[in-house]
Structure 1
């Protein structure tokens, strides 16, 4: 991968008792209590539809949503264990909070839903901060830089969206910033939408679609790991950041999480995270461009 390919990288849902009983991570008891409006809520869960910091500590377990198929950010390794850049952070959060971690495999399209329904306490799934998403969840401080990118086969490299023909289709993953950006700014481009990263990857490798648009960190990783592909558009749209997210209004957890991120940032934790999980993919030259050490 050429160096200049990566240089551009810097730039209350209320839960009813019946629903809460069907979700994981909403408390250790199956009994339901009554909220102020008479609706039932899971024991150990606040009436607002999320678990406060004290409730999480009392339960002894935190539910964290991560990807299971998106190496090197969140995936299940050959030993059946969760691993990757986001998981490295999750492990530290569990350790410092003094609780066990229940990993919940998530897809891009259900990250917000999993927070709003109480299925997870925190999302750590390569979650790009946008104004639209910030209306539905609360983002903590960012820990990574990101933009959009487009990868295509070596024999027909897409270097500009103007290179696309009227019948050409671009693969995207539902619920991602790539889907939102293209649908809003290039409504005439035909999109092939997939729910999971693995599905999109398989479809692209099988020749479905002339290109794949996603976070540039992800398409660059794909091109490095799979011979025969080039990231012809390494930066598309705005430069954004990746951050953890909690349920809207969960102030106690958000405050603790931000304090934790600032503390970790003062220790250069995320550079260590990069070196442990991303170095083999992106190399040392781009560490400072991708990593954000949170600060107040």
Structure 2
């Protein structure tokens, strides 16, 4: 869905006002028209100077007139799409809109999942990902990430009726995770660190959620609602992901296990070695320093 940034709206409104003034003046007010034209030319010159400071990757976005951003559509506080209006609202949507405003372009949101966000970025269908994308050393080999704008922790949601209270209670159970996420690996490591599992055969670099069967097994799903449904049906006995995401699905009769682990730092992902990556990081660092990010975190109920 395409959304017009506030800056683009203001620019459009300003242009309309100038045209209206010129039309009203007619040929008899040449001095006023000349003054207006001079102001417009000065503004255009300033815009050109600003554009000249962009690198080629960023300039390509400016020339296109649209910043294409991959976001999630069902994560309250971060990015949630209203099913009636189609509008997206959350911390990550706001950050995307602010980047678009800085560039003077519109923003277009594409709904992504943990499994599709990297592919869409690689293919050029989107310019950036703001989708609770955890920064890892492995992922940094494929994409650039900005300075983290939020830090979360992984946990596990369970049905109270199963009597699971802690990591030990998950032993020999089946846990649901999102395809393409790092949650399963984080949970196994946490259980090993807690002495619940034997870590002799655990290798973080080669870990595979589909094949791991030592003391716990996993089932992968394409989206979070599917995991929640599977938990209700007892197809799985745990729902593992970042706690801020789990909060949406913590309804009556469900609880978190008594454990938070594996800090998850979220960053904006962009194409490797892109000058747009540098711009995004500079913007995030500035918004962190001046309190803008903290204000958005509070505004969206994430603190």
| Fold similarity call, TM over 0.5 | yes
Q: CA deviation at 1:182?
A: 4.3
Counterpart of 1:158? Answer: 164
Match of 1:138 among 144, 157, 180: 144
Q: Is 2:295 the partner of 1:272?
A: yes
Q: Is the 8 A contact 1:109 1:195 kept in 2?
A: yes
Q: Is the 8 A contact 1:66 1:124 kept in 2?
A: yes
Match of 1:235 among 260, 264, 268: 260
Cα distance in 2 for partners of 1:200, 1:104 equals 22
Deviations 1:181-209 (A, max 9, x none): 34676732111110112222222233321
Distance 1:136 1:205, change over 3 A: same
Deviations 1:39-94 (A, max 9, x none): xxxxxxxxxxxx81010011110110000122232121142211122112111111
Q: Is the 8 A contact 1:151 1:233 kept in 2?
A: no
Q: CA deviation at 1:235?
A: 0.8
Deviates more, 1:154-163 or 1:137-146: 154-163
Gaps of 5+ in 1: 1-50, 280-286, 288-296
Q: Is the 8 A contact 1:157 1:230 kept in 2?
A: no
Cα distance in 1 for partners of 2:238, 2:136 equals 24
Q: CA deviation at 1:112?
A: 1.3
- RMSD after superposition: 2.1
Match of 1:131, SS state, is coil
Between Structure 1 and Structure 2, the one with more helix by share is 2
Q: CA deviation at 1:133?
A: 0.8
Give TM-score, length-normalised by structure 1: 0.71
Distance 1:79 1:234, change over 3 A: farther
Deviates more, 1:85-94 or 1:178-187: 178-187
Gaps of 5+ in 2: 1-55, 198-211
Cα distance in 1 for partners of 2:163, 2:79 equals 28
Q: CA deviation at 1:240?
A: 3.0
Counterpart of 1:244? Answer: 268
Report matched runs for 1:65-80 at 5 Å.
65-77=70-82, 78-80=84-86
Q: Is the 8 A contact 2:152 2:263 kept in 1?
A: yes
Report matched runs for 1:3-152 at 5 Å.
52-77=57-82, 78-152=84-158
Give TM-score, length-normalised by structure 2: 0.69
Q: Is 2:184 the partner of 1:169?
A: no
Q: Is the 8 A contact 2:170 2:238 kept in 1?
A: no
Deviates more, 1:157-166 or 1:53-62: 157-166
Deviations 1:165-189 (A, max 9, x none): 53x2101111112033346767321
Cα distance in 2 for partners of 1:232, 1:172 equals 15
Match of 1:79, SS state, is coil
